[in-house]
Structure 1
């Protein structure tokens, strides 16, 4: 058994603090051979105030002294033995008392240091307690905020669950619609494939018809080119005839002018001859007018043929050629009209 076990048994058996300290003193002195001190007693028992172990120690030594006096004062001992025993007991008592006083002083110093340390610890504990109280209040406030946030989060969680349920329903409906749309898309793809095949067949037929129409158009263009070439030749021939008529008309005009000049000198005697000349000039003018009308008709035919050929030729090139031919064709007509006006003026 250890001293801690014995002290635990004493604490369980006794309730009085002084009785516990006295039992511990006897235990240390008689069983374990230690001289009990106040500091040692307080370290083992840890009960009561600082003066409790010192008082228990004084009582223990007082009991020991009384018991020693009784033992020494036996009547059957010789006087010198009794005196020696008394001196020994007195010396032991003084030694024990000195040891007790020294232990008490040391205990007081230790106790004061322990009190100072305890006071410092108390102040630190008070500071920590205040800090703990502030922290507790802050934690309470934070816990209140967290409770409010928790309530808000719980309400949001309920809303989110309701929204998730609605979204699940919408997702199921969307999946159903997607399945239906996929089926419809498959049907549409099949229909589209059929229609695409039909369009391809129709496109092939249209291309064939277009190729045939293009061949016909090329044939018509070639025919129109042949007709235009023929018309150009006829126009050139007409222009040549008109040029010849203009040259002849100029010769006749010059001759008639000369004749008219001589006729004016012989006006009185040759009135009938002048009238004949005027009739001849009028006939030549009518011929020139008829040639100009024929030329205009040929020009209209040429312009119609050229318009049909515009799809296969450059517009600027065709227009330039027609303008040149029109200028060549218009010049003899203008000259013939000028001669006709001059003849009319002379006749007047």
Structure 2
């Protein structure tokens, strides 16, 4: 970090203090010129003065700066007053001493600048050293953090390994118990297998005896089956003969049935013919009966009209007799039609 920013801060602070001490603008500008030139070694300019003070117009710092330089040149002159020296020598001696003073001031300023540069270089070297130390410190802190993290990870790993070891011990104990249980189970199975073999041998002997008995029974059953088969064959032959005789009888019955069916079919044809003839006659009789019914209805109509025209003095009984007498001849005609 350079010293420009601190100088600016100090200059601003001094100017604020001068503003409080010198309320007049020209006096304030003159004091700021002296402050910059003598205390901070900065050559004042009109723009710089106006930027720092910011009072009045731009002409004010220009005029004050001109007066400051004139006053400075006037004060830098050395007056040598001696009674024995002429005025020309007094002026030349004064100018010589002024030049020496200016050179001495310039040399002092150069020495001051060199000292400032050395101080600045030393400060920069110190800053570089501080930066290096800070980098070393950061690397050290990073390494410490890494080692701390590694230590924590190692502790966590140790805990995990301890837990894994405890789990392995528990697993080994469980496996040993399981092996012991399996060995006990194997011993029990061996005992059960020996017992099963003995039981199987006894059962096999029983099965052999049962098989021999079953073989004997099977032979007897085969003999009985052969006898049954022989009887069935005899029965089948007898049934075959009976079925052949029944087939012959059925054939003869079928022939007689066919002849009878043909005879019945002939009779059925004759009956159908007779039925057709009778149906024709029945239709003729129906037509005749219908015609006679129409004639009877017509006769009744005529008789009714004749009865209506008879004199009113006739009694109803006498009027009914001629109707009965007229209706009587029709009955024999109906009987005759029916007989025909």
Return the TM-score normalized by structure 2.
0.39
Structure with the bigger RCO (C-alpha within 8 Å, sep 6+) is 1
Return the TM-score normalized by structure 1.
0.38
Larger Rg: 2
